[in-house]
Structure 1
Amino acid sequence: MISINFKKNNFIFKYGGIVIVVAFLIIAAKQMEITTTINGFLSTLLQGIDSLGFWGILIFIGVYILATVFFLPGSILTLGAGAIFGLMGGSVLVSLASTLGATVAFLIGRYLARGWVRKQIEKRPNFKAIDNAVAQEGWKIVGLTRLSPIFPFVFLNYAFGVTQVSLKDYILASWLGMMPGTILYVYIGSLTKNLATLGTGNEPANTVQWLIRIIGFMATVGVTVYVTKIAKKALNNQMTEQDKTDFQENDQNKTTQLSKEETS
């Protein structure tokens, strides 16, 4: 009986693991397929925008805002801006469009989807830490997280909507925090001769890409350390306040008890 159970468990463990691995690979392949499809669509859209002149500028801004709101990858649009409008024009347009898109998502998170955003934050400990840090430092945290690739840009837009940061501070900090990455990505896009290669991994490779990775890594470390420090400080302050409350309650209880004893 024990032997049969052992063989059964061994069978389940062995082939169950294979099923899990295969399922993971299928999901990963589907995700890559979806990403490739989206990038291909955006690349085709950029080629159309390139031929529209002034109207192409307005359409690009509108598409970028929609991409930000609907969780679509903005990197290919940023690269495309460099290829179409050049370094200067592309940087200005992406900076404007990304800030507008981030602001729209922020307002949706604050006024229309607050409950859903709150639930998503509760599932992610790192966002809960950011929430606590924003309560202490406000715009500084917004700006720092914009520099770090570890925090997803699109979801942050919604997440900041349920924090205590003001709209004015959010817009200014987001604009400044996104500027370095915007310029670097637009520059890489400006080196691209063919819009069809965007999002395929065939963009020109150079030291700028390494610079982006290095800046992103340094920003990630800095944000993580800073947010952790602020979160610990907030926790300590909260514990101190709780200790004071407990002490006051105990002192009040003792006073009440003494009054009763004196009366009796």
Structure 2
Amino acid sequence: MGKLKLELIIKILLVCIAVGTVIFLAKALNFQSLLQQALRWVQSLGVLGPIAFMVIYNLATILFIPGSVLTLGGGVLFGVFWGSIYVFIAATIGATVAFLIGRYLSRDWVSRQLEKYPKFQAIDSAVAREGWKIVFLTRLSPLFPFNLLNYAFGITQVSLKDYILGSSGMIPGTIMYVYIGSLAGDIAMIGTKQSTNPTLQWSVRIVGFIATVAVTIYVTRIARNALEKN
């Protein structure tokens, strides 16, 4: 019992250190500026640009680096159609890698903890049966942290197939942000007030709010049914 508590404390400390390090680096290194420089480099590569763009996007996803600048940059560099495709492919691959890292590094430990609490085990199993729907709804909502969710879903029983299928919920938000980026017209304009579109931003927020409410109600219902059966 003492050993398990020690493992839990160590894992919590490691997570806190990792998050703190990312926040510190984000402020110290000015990630937005670095990503804009990376986008300029991608722009100079010509036909190899899309490949380099997706590799950078994958690394950003795995390393907890916010991808909004890259998503907007996809619109600037490749236009709405191809930009949306490249961003979606890159985000899905990066999210899947993070999911697998979370699964193979933490799932065994989580399973051991759930064995001590049958009710939570029942909830975890119930959520897994509706996995793709839950993943889909959370992907629709920008209120759920994208990078953190990738690892969090890895420690649940959600299958890899359902996880990838549910990731299609990123499509509406991806298209909207890529379109906003395409309006900027220049990498230097990314993130500035001149590049924003209030109507689209409010559309994203409204869709995200509805998805947040839906997933909250849905998961609550699944958990309640699982507890009643248990």
State the TM-score, normalized to the length of structure 2.
Answer: 0.78
Pair 1:44–1:99, CA change in 2 (3 A): same
Pair 1:66–1:108, CA change in 2 (3 A): same
User: Residue 175 of structure 2 aligns with which residue?
Assistant: 183
State whether residues 107 and 156 of structure 2, in contact with CA within 8 Å, keep that contact through their aligned partners in structure 1. no
1:191 aligned counterpart, secondary structure:
helix
Shift of 1:134: 2.0
Supply the AA of the counterpart residue of 2:27: I
User: Residue 9 of structure 2 aligns with which residue?
Assistant: none
Percent identity of paired positions between Structure 1 and Structure 2: 57
User: Residue 42 of structure 1 aligns with which residue?
Assistant: 35
State whether residues 140 and 208 of structure 2, in contact with CA within 8 Å, keep that contact through their aligned partners in structure 1. yes
Shift of 1:47: 1.4
Match of 1:223 among 198, 209, 215: 215
**1:190-209 counterparts in 2 under 5 A?**
190-209=182-201
User: Residue 154 of structure 1 aligns with which residue?
Assistant: 147
Shift of 1:33: 6.6
Residues matched between the structures, number: 201
Shift of 1:200: 4.3
State whether residues 61 and 147 of structure 2, in contact with CA within 8 Å, keep that contact through their aligned partners in structure 1. yes
State whether residues 129 and 228 of structure 1, in contact with CA within 8 Å, keep that contact through their aligned partners in structure 2. no
Distance 2:181 2:27 in 1: 22
* Cα RMSD for the two superposed structures: 2.7
Distance 2:72 2:108 in 1: 34
Supply the AA of the counterpart residue of 1:205: N
User: Residue 70 of structure 1 aligns with which residue?
Assistant: 63
Distance 1:60 1:51 in 2: 11
State whether residues 82 and 90 of structure 1, in contact with CA within 8 Å, keep that contact through their aligned partners in structure 2. yes
Name stretches of at least 5 consecutive residues in structure 2 with no aligned partner.
Answer: 1-19, 112-120
Shift of 1:137: 1.2
Distance 2:164 2:26 in 1: 34
Match of 2:95 among 88, 92, 102: 102
Distance 1:219 1:234 in 2: 22
Name stretches of at least 5 consecutive residues in structure 1 with no aligned partner.
Answer: 1-26, 119-127, 239-264
Pair 1:53–1:139, CA change in 2 (3 A): same
Shift of 1:153: 0.9
2:30 aligned counterpart, secondary structure:
helix
2:157 aligned counterpart, secondary structure:
coil
**1:76-155 counterparts in 2 under 5 A?**
76-114=69-107, 131=124, 134-155=127-148
State whether residues 122 and 227 of structure 2, in contact with CA within 8 Å, keep that contact through their aligned partners in structure 1. no
State whether residues 184 and 195 of structure 2, in contact with CA within 8 Å, keep that contact through their aligned partners in structure 1. yes
Distance 1:211 1:31 in 2: 32
Distance 2:33 2:228 in 1: 50
**1:222-241 counterparts in 2 under 5 A?**
222-238=214-230
Shift of 1:133: 5.2
Shift of 1:44: 1.4
Higher CA-based Rg: 1
